Amino acid sequence: MNYGYYPGCSLERNAAAYDVSTRAVAAHLGLGLDELEDWNCCGATEYIAINKLAAYALIGRNLALAQKQLHAPGNGRLAADGRAQLVAPCSACFLNLRKADRYLQDDETLRTATNEALAAGGLRYDPGTIFVRHLLDVMVNDVGFEEIKRRVTKPLTGLRVAPYYGCLLVRPRLGGELSNAEYPTELDQLMKALGAEVVDFPLKAHCCGGHMTQISAEVAYELLRRLLQNAADYKADVIVTLCPMCQLNLDAYQSRVNQHFGAGFNLPILYFTQMMGLAFGLDEKALGFGKEIVSAAAALAKIGEPPKAGAPARRRKDDKALPMPGAKP
Amino acid sequence: MTSPIHPQQTFLQDVIDATPGGDTLRTCLQCGTCGGSCPSGADMDATPRRLFAMIAAGLRDEVLQSNTPWYCVSCYYCMVRCPQEIHITDVMYSLKRMAIREGYTDHDAAPDFSQTFIGYVERYGRSFELGLATRFHLAHSPLRKVGIGTLALDMFARDRLALTPKRIKDMEGLHAILETAKAMARKAEATGGSKLL
């Protein structure tokens, strides 16, 4: 099965680990990823705050290019319903593309105007012709857990994983997201299929702060602290993510959060595709390990170790388990 | 208060027109689920619930001066929990655009960040993180430069930061598309048609 592939700006450099591991895992699974020719930035969460029509035209250009490239006669990439599938690994790109497709279908004024702008570049987009999907959705629902289990040669036994979903893959509900807007489980199940021990992670679909690390750092630090604390409370060895913004905030700003709160978090933040590649026994060098700022080396060394006697319970039973005022042992 | 675009039109109608699926804004029950679900609600000078009441009351100045849309982190929690299915996050984007357009946001960090970000996108077709971080922090938080520098070095050491921007091939086509869109938006602003704004 072939998919159009929209990597997005982050995957070119800061999230290169996500890009290389995605391509390596896809090749191993026999998924064809056909990169969109000459794609442009999706506008992130910024363009829509400045100019609505220009923002839709910017995203629209990608959808129009996808329509042209993926609907070319005889390429055999169409889904059963006739839509061509475009896969985005970045949650922000995914939502921008998905949302533009949906709102352009719903709003005739916006659709006509967007196409008038696209025509200036010789393009046109017919909403509904491209089925925008997130990479995790493709892995879980098209490849499937059975096939993924079958491919595992080096199970991630003994590694305690906190599965982090963030916001934009699960919300808002425009159709085709993961199963639940507040407590999704697909990434949990995927990590279990790879042999990892999945810890409970109540904040798994809470926000990492997005661009707030740049604009109002203290607001972001508090959101990041909550996530890191929650994962640490459940004794996770690593946080696994599916979005470059979440990875960047949790990884690159972790030392800042430690400084700001006098904390000592040391949680590596990895992409789910890196974990898949690792469990499939692919060459680790080709999976982008080492690009994380909080090193994952010590955590990954735990894989395959037999669980120690008195291993931490799944839920904490100590006095810090719930931060209730006045709760003393 | 009436709209600067259509003298007969209310502020509420402007916000509705600017927001895809905006009609539901009329149905707000004032239940407060939005503010209760908001991770940055405590930093906002008005919760979304309060802001929606202010919009309905026509308090254009107060709403567009509010920091609420700028503290929105786009997590969409409010939007999936709203019993009236109001497109709350999209309303926040509409309010950001109106505030910028009507001159309520001079020299604020958040709109400047967006402007700087899209400046690179309009020029190269892709985002450019090093340029964005340098320009933005130089203007807004020179004192944080040392910390940002350490972070940049960490990123650079792991080959996660490009020194030069990447340019798409058909920049001419993208430029024509965006300029046409912007010209249409300017026309809409001058002649009415706030659905494009």
Rounded to an integer, what distance in angstroms lies between the CA atom of residue B11 and that of residue A226? 38
Confidence band, pLDDT 50/70/90 cuts, at residue A321: low
Given CB atoms, is B98 within the 8 Å cutoff of chain A? no
In DSSP notation, A37-78 reads TT-----TTTGGGT-HHHHHHHHHHHHHHHHHHHTSTT---B
CB contact under 8 A, B180 and A57: yes
Give the SS3 label for residue A19: helix
Examine the pLDDT at A239 and tell me if it is beyond 90: yes
Question: pLDDT value at position A314?
Answer: 56
What gap in Å lies between CA B154 and CA A209, rounded to an integer? 21
The structural domains of chain B, ordered by start, are 11-105 (1.10.1060.10), 109-166 (no CATH)
Identify the pLDDT of residue A90. 98
Other beta carbons within 10 angstroms of residue A109's beta carbon come to: 12
Cβ(B138)–Cβ(B145) below 8 Å: yes
Residue A197 predicted with pLDDT over 90: yes
Would you say A138 and A26 are in contact if contact means Cβ atoms under 8 Å apart?
Answer: no
What integer pLDDT is reported at residue A139 of this predicted model? Answer: 98
Residue whose structure tokens are 């604390």 = A229
The pLDDT score that the predictor gives to residue B141 is 73
Reported for A314-320, long-range contacts at CB under 8 A and 24+ positions apart, including other chains, are A314/A199, A314/A200, A314/A234, A315/A200, A315/A234, A316/A233, A316/A234, A316/A235, A320/A233
Residue with the bigger pLDDT between A304 and A85: it is: A85
* Residue from B40, B74, B113, B161 whose CB has the most chain A CBs within 10 Å, to mutate: B74
| C-alpha span between B189 and B197 (Å, rounded) | 7
Retrieve residue A126's tokens: 């017919």
Give yes or no for residue A75 having a pLDDT over 80.
no
What number of H helices and E strands is found in chain A? Answer: 14, 8
User: Choosing among A18, A53, A173, A251, which should be mutated to test the B contact, i.e. which has the most B CBs within 10 A?
Assistant: A53
Q: Residues in chain B with pLDDT < 50?
A: none
What residues of A are in contact with residue B168 (Cβ under 8 Å)? 38-40
- Looking at residue B98, what is its pLDDT? 96
Contact B171, B125 (CB under 8 A): yes
Rounded to an integer, the average pLDDT of A37-61 is: 97
| Rg of chain A (C-alpha set) | 21
Place of tokens 């905006």: B22
**Residue A34 pLDDT greater than 80, yes or no:** yes
Contact B179, B167 (CB under 8 A): no
Backbone angles phi, psi at A328, to 5 degrees: -120, 150
- Phi and psi at A314, nearest 5°, equal -60, -40
Given CATH 2.40.50.140, say whether it is the number of domain A2-136. no
Contacts of B126 in chain A (CB under 8 A): 9, 12, 40-41
The count of other CB atoms within 10 Å of the CB of residue A258 is 16
pLDDT band at A329 (very low <50, low <70, confident <90, very high): very low
- Cβ atoms of B24 and B84 within 8 Å: the answer is yes
Q: Tell me, what DSSP letter sits at residue A239?
A: E
- Across the interface, which of A51, A207, A216 has its CB nearest the CB of B185? A51
Please name the residues in contact with B8: beta carbons below 8 A apart, sequence gap of 6 or more: B2
pLDDT at A210 over 90: yes
Which pLDDT does position B143 carry in this prediction? 63
Instruction: Flag whether the ipTM exceeds 0.90.
Output: yes
Burial class for A302, CB neighbours closer than 10 Å (0-12, 13-18, 19+): middle
- Under a CB-based contact definition with an 8 Å cutoff, are residues B61 and A146 in contact? no
Those residues with Cβ within 8 angstroms of residue A262's Cβ, 6 or more apart along the chain or in another chain: none
Domain A144-300 has CATH 3.40.50.11810: yes
Count of beta carbons in the 10 Å neighbourhood of residue A72 = 10
Q: Locate the chain A residue with the closest alpha carbon to B91.
A: A49
Output Rg (C-alpha) for chain B, integer angstroms.
Answer: 19
Chain A CB within 8 Å of residue B138 CB: no
In which residue ranges of chain A is CATH 3.40.50.11810 found? 144-300
With beta carbons less than 8 A apart as the criterion, state whether A54 and B185 touch.
yes
Cβ pair B162:A41 closer than 8 A? no
- Dihedral over Cα of A268, A274, A276, A282: its sign: negative
Comparing CA positions, the residue from A257, A271, A297, A96 lying closest to residue A190 is: A271
Mean pLDDT value of segment A288-317: 79
* The predicted structure's pLDDT at residue B187: 94
Interface-testing mutation among A112, A214, A251, with chain B (most B C-beta atoms within 10 A)? A214
Per-residue model confidence as pLDDT tens digits over B159-183: 999 989 999 999 999 999 999 999 9
Instruction: In chain A, list all ranges with CATH 1.20.1050.140.
Output: 2-136
- Is the Cα torsion angle B60, B65, B66, B68 positive or negative in sign? positive
Closest CA–CA distance from residue B185 to any residue of chain A (Å): 7
Whether residue A326 has pLDDT greater than 90: no
Show Cβ contacts of residue B84 under 8 Å, excluding neighbours closer than 6 positions. B24, B27, B28, B29
